[in-house]
Every structure is written in C-alpha cells, then in structure tokens.
Amino acid sequence: MNEIIHLINEMSPYLLLGFLLAGLMHSFIPGRYYTKFLAKKSFRSVINAALFGIPLPLCSCGVIPTAMSLRKEGASKGAVASFLIATPQTGVDSIIATFSLMGLPFAIVRPIAALLTAVFGGAMVNITDTSKEMAGKAESHEHNGHSHEHKGFMHKLREAIEYAYVEMMEDIGKWLVVGLIIAGLITVFVPAEMFAIFNGNTLASMLLVLCIALPMYLCATGSIPIAVALMMKGLTPGAALVLLMAGPACNFASMLVIRKVLGMRTLATYLASIIIGSIAFGYMIDYLQFSGTVNFLEHLTLQQACCDEGDGWFAWTCTILMILMLINAMVLQKLGLRKAHHCHCHDGHHHDEDSCSCGCESDECHSEQNVVKYIVEGMNCNHCRTNAEKALLQVEGVTSASVDLASKEAVVTGTASEEQLREAIESIGFELKKP
C-alpha cells in the first residue's frame, strides 16, 4: 500500500491548487458568458463549447444538467454534444492532477484528445441533425441568474474558496476516495501478469476497458489513480487513456438523459464519437510509446523510485489538509448539516430561507403566492442543485426557489403550476415529485 500512499501524497498539492483555480473560474466568470457563444448551429459554436468545457471542473453527473440548461437557453445540439464530451473528461483540477501522477505527456494529450473528440462529435451531431434549432434565449433569463457584477472582489474570493474546498469536495471527494480505494484493490489483488494476455493485441485491451468504463460512473480526477494502478499492472498507456476519456465522458445515467432530451440520433453520435476518439488516441499513444518517440511511462517509473525514498513534509501537510476537507465536506453532506440557508429570487439576490419573500411582505401578497415543496430526483452534486434552482426560477410565476441537495427538497414560492415546474425540471434531466 506504500504505492497508494505515495500517489495520494503526490496528488494532494496539485489537487488543492486545481480546486482553487476551479473556484476562481466559477466565481469570477459569469455562467451566461458561455451561452451567447453557443447558440448558432455552426462549427464555431462546436469549437467554443469544447474550449469552454475543457477547463470547467464539472463532474460526469454535474455536466448533464448544465448542458441541458445550455440547450434550454438556446445552445445548438452540436454545441451541447461537444460540451458533454469535452467537459467531464478534463477540468483544471484533473489536468493538474494528471500532470502530478502521470507526467507532462499525459497532461498535454488528455485535453487535446478531449478537444478533438468533442469537436468531431459536435460537428457530426450538427450534420446528422435535421431538426430546427431553438431561438437563443440567453438574454431572456439574465435577471434570474446570480449577479457577478454587483459582488465585490473579497465576496467573490470567499465564494471561490467555499466552492473550491467545500462544494467541490462534496461533489468530487467521494469519487476521488472511491478511485483511490479501487486503485488500492488493483495494486493488492490484481496479478502482475494479468494484462500479459493482451501483448500484441492493443485493440483487445482497449475494448475491455471500454466495456468497463462506458456504463459506470468515473469522474475525471477519480479515474487517474485507477489508470495509474492499471498501468503498474501492465496495462498499456493507450488503454489507460481510453479509461481516462471514456469513463468520465459517459455513464448509463447520462445516456438515458441525453436520449430523453436530445434524441436517439444525438445519443448514437455522442457514443460513437467517444468510442472512436478514445480508441484512435489510444492507438496513437501506444504507437508513440512503443516506437520510442515519447515515453509515457517515464513519470510512473520515477514515481516508483521516489516511493522508496519517502515523501516530504509539504506533501504530507497537503494530504492531511485534503483529508480534513474531505471529512468536513462528506460528513456535513451525509448528515445534512450544510443546508442552504438562503433562497434565490428573480432580483438576483439571496434571502434568508426563513424570510424568503423576495420583497413581498404583506399578508395579501403571501395569500396570492403559494409556497410548495417538491422532491427533485436525480441530483448528485452541487452543480445539479444549482441547475435545478435555475430551471425553477425560469418558470413564469416563480418568485423564489431553494433546492437542498442532501434532502432533495425544493421549496418554490409563486403562482406557477405543478405541470410547469415539472416540465422545467424534466427539461434538464431530473424528475419532480410530491413529497
């Protein structure tokens, strides 16, 4: 288990840095900034979607409602497909973590592979899609989003740190832990000669990895220690890249949502792009490796040598900090202690949940507006919660909405009907139920 402990120590400083950069992006770049570049059914919108998606720290579950929200606000199907393929494969945090555990060549190839695969998939969706695109809606709901312009620098900085070290820890932390546990089990129980049967047959090992990775949930960061552990057992670098691409980009739940919202043709093109792209880049990686052009295993060899020497105090300090943050986030989420103490209103401000009136104080006003509670099924992370709140706020007649991730409870104030609310939630891939 020394190898796994060394992996954690090696990764923790880079993860903490990556989470911070992700938090700064989240807090200082308004969400609607992206939408206006994705509306046209054009090749440029497909490229924009991939370029926007690559650095965003969205996990495989969080990218689905975000992409569906972009679609609802007017993004083209091709741009949405490109965003869906590129975003979960990478992220500023996972790129930095890839560099820490797998070296510079992998850290360069991984986002390039995500970009080209996403552009190919998005372009194919636009070519094969015969439906008429929706008119752009980005401006029509600007007043419903969170206001970035009216927040001061220190407020944004505090928001960035909370997002990085609380919300992201809640969203990615458990999957990172799962990835490390799986990597440990592989290290201990998988025999070193297991992948020897694939010597001379790279395609067979890639197809095996695809069969495992496509239906299951893997986040971009949590898949890294699994890929490293498998390479230690003899899996080729190309097959490891297939895992890093296909695992985060696709899972059974996302397939169902894409089929429901974007259609079967888009789903087929989406899956074909991921499979073709991952195998093509896997072959390229193995060719470069075995021809001696680029050594993708060099960093792994150096790591194994460093493992015998022990880790420094800085690495251990970062690991301890990360463990404390993981315990804090995961325990609070599990116990439901970190509930949202505010609701979001059409004025763009936060209000205390106990006085969520959004400017309406009179008894007559309250009698005209119903306060109803629902259960939102399908949410797995804070991105899901944010998109659910946003979808509810965009319904005509809703004056405020608050969604709690731990209890799945949505509290909505306004005159909108249940059918309108259900349609809004289902449009981003979730399900609305009565409690």
pTM: 0.77
Same structural domain, 276 and 422? no
Same structural domain, 226 and 374? no
Same structural domain, 263 and 372? no
Q: For position 383, what pLDDT does the model report?
A: 81
Same structural domain, 170 and 120? yes
**What's the average model confidence in pLDDT over 197-203?**
69
Domains identified in the chain, total number: 2
Same structural domain, 311 and 221? yes
Same structural domain, 372 and 351? yes
Same structural domain, 304 and 345? no
Domain ends where: 273, 302, 332?
A: 332
Same structural domain, 328 and 344? no
Q: Where does the pLDDT of residue 33 fall: very low under 50, low under 70, confident under 90, or very high at 90 and above? A: low
Cβ pair 3, 192 in contact under 8 A: no
Q: Where does the pLDDT of residue 137 fall: very low under 50, low under 70, confident under 90, or very high at 90 and above? A: very low
**What's the average model confidence in pLDDT over 67-72?**
79
b/e per residue, 213-252, with b = 16+ CB within 10 A?
A: bbeebbbbbbbbbbbbbbbbebbbbbbbbbbbbbbbbbbe
**What's the average model confidence in pLDDT over 97-119?**
93
Same structural domain, 208 and 282? yes
Tell me: the pLDDT tens digits for 270-305?
Answer: 999 999 999 999 999 999 998 999 999 888 877 665
- How is residue 384 written in tokens? 């899901």
What CATH number is given to the structural domain containing 344? 3.30.70.100
Domain ends where: 270, 298, 332?
A: 332
Tell me: the pLDDT tens digits for 328-359?
Answer: 877 765 565 554 445 556 555 555 444 454 55
For the cut 60, the answer to whether the pLDDT of residue 72 exceeds it is yes
Instruction: Give, to the nearest 10 degrees, the angle between helix 104-128 and helix 43-53.
Output: 150
Q: Which residues are CB-contacts of 394 (< 8 A; sequence separation ≥ 6)? A: 72, 141, 144, 424
Same structural domain, 139 and 35? yes
Same structural domain, 303 and 424? no
Q: For position 120, what pLDDT does the model report?
A: 95
CA 26, 69, 430, 128 torsion-angle sign: negative
Q: Which residues are CB-contacts of 91 (< 8 A; sequence separation ≥ 6)? A: 18, 22, 54, 55, 56, 57, 58, 220, 221
Domain ends where: 332, 366, 389?
A: 332
- How is residue 222 written in tokens? 């949590």
Domain boundaries, position 327: 2-332
Helix (H, G, I), strand (E, B) or coil at 394: coil
**For residue 13, how many other CB atoms are within 10 A of its CB?**
18
Same structural domain, 359 and 323? no
